Structure 1
Amino acid sequence: MNIVTPESELDWVLVLAPFRKDAEYIAASLREQAVEVKAVKADEDLVQHLALSPGIIVITHEALSPEVVGKIAEHLAEQAGWSEVPIVVLLERSAPVARIRTRLQASWPDARLLFHTRPISPLEFVNAIQSNMLVRLRQRQVRDSIERERELRLELNHRVKNILASVSSIFRMTRRGAASVDDLADDFTSRLQALSNVHTAVFEAGGEEVSLCDVVGLTVSPYNSDGMSRINVSGPEITVGREAGTTIALCLHELITNAIKYGALSEPDGTVEIVWTIAEAGGPKLCLKWIETGGPPVREPTRQGYGTRYVRSAFASLFGSLPDISFAPDGFRCSVSGPLSRVTPQNHNTAD
């Protein structure tokens, strides 16, 4: 016999009715209501059909042999914790119901047992089956909720580890460049706030991706207050992954901090342009530029501070190539480019 796996593991009924035309009668009444049915003889293909995980089992009095009861018990023992298979038992009116119930409850403790005496009206029988199909649907929803909760726990664990790693790295690098405890506290706090801001943007976006416009806008908004735009932003609307958005925001924060201390934003008339474009030649590439004007004359520092080191390292890791950093006399410049695919949302493995 060829067995076709049903589309859903929960939407079909297995009927065990070896005598007379019980199986045909039961199957016909269910199929009239568009319920998928598989009818088997108690001694034919039972194990194979149970392996297909029927949503409901209907078994007649005549099929309750020790062998069949044992095979069904083995099947039930293999069920997941969320699964409580409904088993509809059709008994003869003269059957010792109490004794059979006690026996089956002992043999099938993890089943949802329902007993009916024959004859049973088609309407009552179909209603019983449909009600228990709804029960199975609810059980499946519980299963899905359990799986989603598991995935969320793994995702939360992954994100917390990443955040703690970022915080630890930020602290170590900030401490190396701090001249005093106050400087350490101020710089470390501002960098944590930048990290918080981008996580807020990603959370509000509702997933693993976020608008680059939103990331940049949220990062520069504290510096464009009172109707003044010291930092001008332009670029096409594109979506980037959570990790890419975080990296870009933190790099921009470092560039802004440097510009406030030493560059264009340290002068009243100084401005910054943040521009990104998509170049199609040779495959889509994201090009991101930081351009300062109107600041004091620029001289290349004798040693690299935290900001420059972080920007070089983070942009190189994200884009796959080192950024071009120029201490031009008329204004600091930073540009970086790389395949668009490196910053767009990627499948995220939560099992790390």
Structure 2
Amino acid sequence: MKAAATESELDWVLVLAPFRKDADYIAAFLREHNIQVKAAKVDDHLLEDLTQSPGIIVITHEALNAQVVARVAAHLSDQPDWSEVPIIVLLERSAPIARIRSQLQNSWPGSRLLFHTRPIAPLELVNGIQSNLLVRLRQRQVRDSIERERELRLELNHRVKNILASVTSIFQMTRRGATTVEDLASDFTGRLQALSNVHTAVFEAGGEDVSLSAVVGLTVSPYNRDGVSRIHVRGPDLVVTRDAGTTIALCLHELITNAIKYGALSQSDGHVELAWALTKADGPQFSLTWVEAGGPTVREPSRQGYGTRYVRSALGSLFGKAPQIVFAPTGFQCGVSGPVARISAQNVNS
């Protein structure tokens, strides 16, 4: 069973009731039931109150003048697609309810209109508001789900493009060294399989731990074949968590892709030094460095690309501090360090 929504998750209510002290009375009663509420004046400050984005609007018959209707309509027209603002209209029994309903439905098409006649039992009003606060919460949850889905699609699109870039690079590297079609097909298939192994080992691992050396080896193996090492790797073996292994593999993939496109691996003589180490200063510490050399002269880009942003964010989250990224003229460099405990449950004190 899902837990009930907490008060902090729910929206707030704007009350427009200019007659006598109706607004203060309604607001006080709602506060007694832990509903966040603001009693607004039907004047020039109404626009400011509406810009604070109330989740629900409660409006009495007396507030339904042309100016208020127009201002609420303008507010509703600015709502995003996911938002359908509940508006509870409190009418007098003698009011021409059908006509008012028709007029407001035409004036406020972007709302969820609910009509009550007065007098209304306070608990009935509270129950109606609470129900619509939950409706509003569901709307926001749908919004969050749509935004998350959009982010995932963008991320998937970026990953696919990077994978295709890697496949293209592997093909070009293989073609340059192949003497026959058979050699080309064999070597290219082997390198694609190595790339596939990274996804198999890291993303579909059944356990919770993975060898860092295995992760790194599988990630760089398509670029170190046939006795030619483009990425020189050194470092002690260490068992890391699945999440840490996944993050490191993704970051290496971004670094390799960028090096292929713009850095050391874009030229035949370029290479990369990839190293990690363990120390015991101030407790067990882990450090990892990526240093490129032999490529084109490096200039810091005017705009940070997605890959660099991802590496900064992912390694920063993994190690608790941002990596050091240097656009040195002789070659791009990236380094990060932090407590071993952030990536591994292995005891490295012994």
Work out whether the TM-score is over 0.5.
yes
Report the 3-state secondary structure (helix = DSSP H, G, I; strand = E; otherwise coil) of the residue aligned with 1:242.
Answer: helix
Equivalents in 1 of 2:195, 2:107: separation in Å? Answer: 58
Equivalents in 2 of 1:279, 1:312: separation in Å? Answer: 30
| 1:123-142 alignment runs, 5 A limit | 123-142=123-142
| 1:253-272 alignment runs, 5 A limit | none
Structure 1 residues 173, 32: closer, same or farther in 2, change over 3 A? Answer: same
Equivalents in 1 of 2:176, 2:252: separation in Å? Answer: 26
Q: Which moved more, 1:67-76 or 1:154-163?
A: 154-163
Aligned to 1:286: 288
Aligned to 1:340: 336
Structure 1 residue identity aligned to 2:12: W
CA apart distance, 1:20: 1.8
Aligned to 2:315: none
| 1:301-316 alignment runs, 5 A limit | none
Aligned to 1:42: 42
Equivalents in 2 of 1:88, 1:103: separation in Å? Answer: 15
In the alignment, does 2:238 pair up with 1:236? Answer: yes
Equivalents in 1 of 2:48, 2:81: separation in Å? Answer: 22
Report the 3-state secondary structure (helix = DSSP H, G, I; strand = E; otherwise coil) of the residue aligned with 1:124.
Answer: helix
CA apart distance, 1:202: 4.1
Equivalents in 2 of 1:218, 1:195: separation in Å? Answer: 7
Equivalents in 2 of 1:16, 1:320: separation in Å? Answer: 57
| 1:1-352 alignment runs, 5 A limit | 11-204=11-204, 212=212, 215-216=215-216, 235-238=237-240, 239=244, 240-246=247-253, 277-279=277-279, 285-286=287-288, 339-340=335-336
Equivalents in 1 of 2:113, 2:287: separation in Å? Answer: 62
After superposition, the C-alpha distances for 1:223-255 in whole angstroms (9 at most, x for unaligned) are xxxxxxxxxx952345353334448999xxxxx
CA apart distance, 1:286: 3.2
What is the identity percentage for the equivalent residue pairs of Structure 1 and Structure 2?
66
Structure 1 residues 201, 48: closer, same or farther in 2, change over 3 A? Answer: farther
After superposition, the C-alpha distances for 1:201-227 in whole angstroms (9 at most, x for unaligned) are 443379xxx87256158679xxxxxxx
Aligned to 1:272: none
Q: Which runs of 5+ in 2 are unaligned?
A: 1-6, 221-234, 258-274, 296-307, 312-324, 328-332, 343-350
Structure 2 residue identity aligned to 1:88: I
Report the 3-state secondary structure (helix = DSSP H, G, I; strand = E; otherwise coil) of the residue aligned with 1:339.
Answer: strand
CA apart distance, 1:320: 8.1
Equivalents in 2 of 1:247, 1:312: separation in Å? Answer: 19
CA apart distance, 1:338: 7.1
How many residue pairs align between the two structures? 263
CA apart distance, 1:38: 0.3
Report the 3-state secondary structure (helix = DSSP H, G, I; strand = E; otherwise coil) of the residue aligned with 1:89.
Answer: strand
Equivalents in 2 of 1:249, 1:338: separation in Å? Answer: 12
After superposition, the C-alpha distances for 1:8-36 in whole angstroms (9 at most, x for unaligned) are 79611000000022112211221111001
After superposition, the C-alpha distances for 1:306-343 in whole angstroms (9 at most, x for unaligned) are xxxx9988xxx99989xxxxxxxxxxxxxxx973359x
Structure 1 residue identity aligned to 2:212: L
Structure 1 residues 110, 338: closer, same or farther in 2, change over 3 A? Answer: closer
Equivalents in 2 of 1:101, 1:157: separation in Å? Answer: 47
Equivalents in 1 of 2:156, 2:277: separation in Å? Answer: 33
After superposition, the C-alpha distances for 1:238-293 in whole angstroms (9 at most, x for unaligned) are 5353334448999xxxxxxxxxxxxxxxxxxxxxxxx9632578x963379xxxxx
CA contact under 8 A between 2:219 and 2:253: conserved in structure 1? Answer: no
Give the TM-score of the pair, scaled to structure 2.
0.64
Equivalents in 2 of 1:138, 1:99: separation in Å? Answer: 31
Q: Which runs of 5+ in 1 are unaligned?
A: 1-6, 221-232, 251-274, 289-309, 322-336, 346-352
Structure 1 residues 248, 136: closer, same or farther in 2, change over 3 A? Answer: closer
CA contact under 8 A between 1:93 and 1:117: conserved in structure 2? Answer: yes
After superposition, the C-alpha distances for 1:140-169 in whole angstroms (9 at most, x for unaligned) are 011101111111121112111111111111
Equivalents in 1 of 2:75, 2:45: separation in Å? Answer: 14
Give the TM-score of the pair, scaled to structure 1.
0.64
CA apart distance, 1:58: 0.1
